Amino acid sequence: MLDYLLPRYKVLREDDLCVKCGVCERSCANDVHTLDEEMDAFLIDHKKCVNCQRCVVMCPTGALAITNWPQVGNGSNNWTLAAMQEIAKQSQTGGVLLTSMGNPKPFPIYWDHLLLNASQVTNPSIDPLREPMETRVFLGARPEALKVNEREHLVKTPMPPQIKLDVPVMFSAMSFGSISLNAQKSLAMAAQELGTYFNTGEGGLHKDLERFGAHAVVQVASGRFGVDTHYLNAGAMIEIKIGQGAKPGIGGHLPGEKINAEVSRTRMIPEGTDAISPAPHHDIYSIEDLRQLIFSLKEACRYQKPVAVKIAAVHNVAAIASGMVRAGADVVVLDGFRGGTGAAPTRIRDNVGIPIELALAAVDRRLREESIRSQASLVVAGTIRSSADIVKAVALGADAVYCASGPLIALGCHQCQDCASGKCNWGIATQRPELTKRLNPEIGAQRVINLVKAWNHEVQEMMGGMGINAIDSLKGNRLMLRGVGLNEKELDILGVKHAGE
């Protein structure tokens, strides 16, 4: 069959600058660049380029750049070139379209329609360089009231287990298998240094990472890979993954070729077999089943660790979250529809779920209306791109955020959306030893630490500007937000006023 597929990208090489050192060729696992010895020139297979930009960054003379394939469509808004290319691909293969990373479609990004307040005249802003500026957050259930002995300074109410975050950011779930051990180690080291947590995803906890257990969230998902009592007690918090923002309603599939010896041992499955996570947990067909799993896990850790439950943000998210809290979840994690993934069907990623901003606002409000907000913490994920997004999320009502794409970009990810191929040139979403060794965990950790420290400084600056010196007073403080370019309904759901009001 004739392949109708066009290249997506075009690799531009400035021959004047190229010294034919061959770094590009060695950099590319997709075999885009090949030096033709006879012609003494590079052949470029544009079709194979995924725009990961590894060669562009590595080229010592700056001779390379990637641009879009110059082919135009016919000008139709319906039958765009991209839409036709997808049909070409499916008619060729008969398969479901697969992709990676977050929803790239131009849906509204509500973070960019929210603006923050700052103090002027009637109260002073606070300079974080001069005054303490607290970003410490605790996650877990809280009693509604505390019984104490005031004279002896003793707490009488038993305190449920909680985890302490020095910065309001954690690294979201990415399993060993979907990412490399070096990538996971980078995040684990960074989490330890920053006083926060990385999340094992549903790939188990590699023995080399057990020493970071105090900074790990261990995940229990529908495949139950790597789950045993030792695993459940190895982390600081347990997270039940019901759904993921990038692919609500469906499970996962890690192909057998990525299940090498290490992955196999960590996941507790045979080498080379496909790791299939079913769409639902087969022991959770309703809310009362969730309660049983939550309490099984609490029993397994002897009530020493908080149990989080993560769901994708879907239409009825507020009612579901309320049920989760009543079922005993100590932390509710919401993952918005722009959240990333190692692999998801394109149609699911691009069409299922709702924006995290609206889901967060709706859930926070519902939990307050039901007077159960203080019973559980609320963590949101799904395109937290900067410190400003964090501040806005907390002001809408989140206790903290999960972030994965940001730290991955710090490690070198260029969002090429080709994780599923296993040929990540940055050594992140791959298990090939020649690629994973490109990522040095010490250097990777340092980049992530730098990023989160920079974000935290910015969070402190923004808080100080608002006259707030503890993140406690930012949480749910929606008066600090104003909407721009939003309609009444959107403002109502977000619970914020329009700018100028």
Partner 1 sequence: MPRCDATHTPPREGAVRIPSGCAISGIMDKSGARHDGTDILKSIALMHDRSNGLGGGFAAYGIYPEYKELYAFHIMYENQEARKATEAYLDAHFMCEKQERIPTEPVRSIVNPPDIWRYFLGPHPVKLSMSGQDEAEYTMLHVFHINAVIPGAFVASSGKNMGAFKGVGYPEDIGSFYRIADYQAWLWTAHGRFPTNTPGWWGGAHPFTLLNWSVVHNGEISSYDTNRRYVEQYDYECTLQTDTEVITYLFDLLARRHGFSQEMAAHIMTAPAWDKIDAMEPSRAAFETALRNVYSSALINGPMSVLLGSDEGLLALNDRLKLRALMVGEKGSMVYLASEQAAIEVVCPDIENVRSIDGGVPFVVQLDEVAARKAQESAENTFCDLCRPAQLVGVVPQASKKAESMRATGGQRADAKWAEGGQNHA
Contact residues toward partner 1 (CB under 8 A) are: 119, 122-124, 126, 131-132, 134, 136, 138, 142-157, 159, 162, 368, 371, 373-374, 466-470, 472-480
Q: Please state, in angstroms and rounded to a whole number, the distance separating the CA atoms of residues 158 and 370.
A: 23
CB atoms within 10 A of CB 76: 10
Give the number of other CB atoms < 10 A from CB of residue 423.
Answer: 18
What DSSP designation does 77 have? S
Which of 53/192 has CB closer to partner 1?
192
Specify whether the CB–CB gap between 338 and 385 falls below 8 A: no
DSSP for residue 176: B
Residue 486 near residue 102, CB atoms below 8 Å: no
Q: φ and ψ at 156, to 5 degrees?
A: -95, -30
**What ranges in 217-334 are assigned the alpha helix state H?**
229-234, 261-267, 287-300, 317-326
Give the whole-angstrom CA distance, residue 185 versus residue 198.
9
CB of residue 188 to partner 1, shortest distance in Å: 24
What is 460-476 written as a DSSP string? HHHHHHTT--BGGGTTT
Q: Which helix (H) or strand (E) holds 414?
A: none
The answer to whether the Cα torsion of 187, 188, 194, 196 is positive or negative is positive
Task: Identify which of 332, 177, 334, 327 has the alpha carbon closest to the alpha carbon of residue 248.
Answer: 334
Interatomic CA distance for residues 471 and 480, integer angstroms: 13
Whole-angstrom Cα distance, residue 412 to residue 445? 12
Q: Are 242 and 281 spatial neighbours (Cβ–Cβ below 8 Å)?
A: yes
In angstroms, the CA 194 to CA 443 distance is 15
What does the alpha-carbon distance between residue 50 and residue 68 come to, in Å, rounded to a whole number?
A: 11
C-beta of residue 190 within 8 angstroms of C-beta of residue 258 = no
Q: How far is the CA of 80 from the CAs of 83, 101, 393, in angstroms?
A: 5, 22, 35
Q: How far apart are CA 394 and CA 330, in angstroms?
A: 18
| 8-state DSSP, 246 | T
Give yes or no for a contact between 73 and 6, defined as CB atoms under 8 angstroms apart: no
Rg (CA), the chain: 24
Contacts of 1 (CB under 8 A, 6+ apart): 92
> C-alpha 324: how far from its chain's center?
21
With beta carbons less than 8 A apart as the criterion, state whether 367 and 322 touch.
yes
